[in-house]
Structure 1
Amino acid sequence: MKKIGFIGTGSMGNILISSFLDAKAIAPNNVYVTNRTLKKAHDIASQYDGVHVVEDVKTLVKEVDYIFLCVKPLQMIPLLEEVKHCITKEHTLISITSPLLVEELENTTDAKVIRFIPSIVNRALDGPSLVTFGKTCSDSDKECFLSFVKKISRPEIIDNNITRVASDIGCCGPAFISFIVEQMIQSAVEETEISKEEATTIMESMLIGYGELLRQKHFTLETLRERVTVPGGVTGVGLDVLRAEVGKQFNKMFVKTHEKYDEDRRLIHEQLNKSPKINHSN
Structure 2
Amino acid sequence: MRIGFIGAGSMGSLLMSAFIRVGALKPDQIVSSSRTLSKLSALAERYPGLQIASSNRQVAIGSDYILLCVKPMDYRCVIDEIAPVLTPNQIVISITSPVMLSQLEELLPCKVVKIIPSVVNGVGSGATLFMWGTRLNVEDRAELYQLFSTISQPIEIEEEEVRAASDLSSCGPAFLAYLLEEFIVAAVSMGMDRQTATSLASEMMLGTARMLLEYPCTPSELQAKVSVPGGITEVALEVLRKTTRGAFMQVLNTTHEKFAEDLDRVEGALFPRERT
Within 5 Å, give how 1:104-123 maps onto structure 2: 104-123=103-122
Q: Structure 1 residue 69: deviation in Å?
A: 0.3
Q: Secondary structure at the match of 2:32?
A: strand
Q: Which has the higher mean CA deviation after the structures are superposed, 207-216 or 249-258? A: 207-216
Contact 1:38 1:55 in 2 (8 A): no
TM-score (norm 1): 0.94
Inter-partner Cα distance in structure 1 for 2:202 and 2:113: 35
Deviation beyond 3 Å, 4+ runs, structure 1: none
Inter-partner Cα distance in structure 1 for 2:60 and 2:71: 19
Q: Structure 1 residue 218: deviation in Å?
A: 4.4
1:18 is aligned with what amino acid?
A: S
Query: Counterpart in 2 of 1:212?
Result: 210
1:195-249, Cα deviation, whole Å (9 max, x unpaired): 2222112111212222332342243322211100000000001111011111211
1:56 matched to 2:49? The reply is no
Q: Percent identity?
A: 34
1:76 matched to 2:86? The reply is no
1:225 matched to 2:252? The reply is no
Contact 2:75 2:270 in 1 (8 A): no
Inter-partner Cα distance in structure 2 for 1:175 and 1:34: 28
The number of aligned residues is: 274
Within 5 Å, give how 1:159-198 maps onto structure 2: 159-190=158-189, 192-198=190-196
**CA root-mean-square deviation:** 1.3
Query: Counterpart in 2 of 1:280?
Result: none
Q: Structure 1 residue 273: deviation in Å?
A: 2.7
Inter-partner Cα distance in structure 2 for 1:233 and 1:139: 54
1:253 is aligned with what amino acid?
A: V
Within 5 Å, give how 1:1-282 maps onto structure 2: 2-190=1-189, 192-274=190-272
1:54 is aligned with what amino acid?
A: A
Q: Which has the higher mean CA deviation after the structures are superposed, 122-131 or 216-225? A: 216-225
Inter-partner Cα distance in structure 2 for 1:222 and 1:75: 43
Inter-partner Cα distance in structure 1 for 2:28 and 2:258: 39
Inter-partner Cα distance in structure 1 for 2:211 and 2:248: 25
Q: Secondary structure at the match of 2:271?
A: helix
Q: Secondary structure at the match of 1:93?
A: strand
Ranges in structure 1 where 5+ consecutive residues have no aligned partner: 277-282
1:263 is aligned with what amino acid?
A: E
Q: Secondary structure at the match of 1:116?
A: strand
Ranges in structure 2 where 5+ consecutive residues have no aligned partner: none
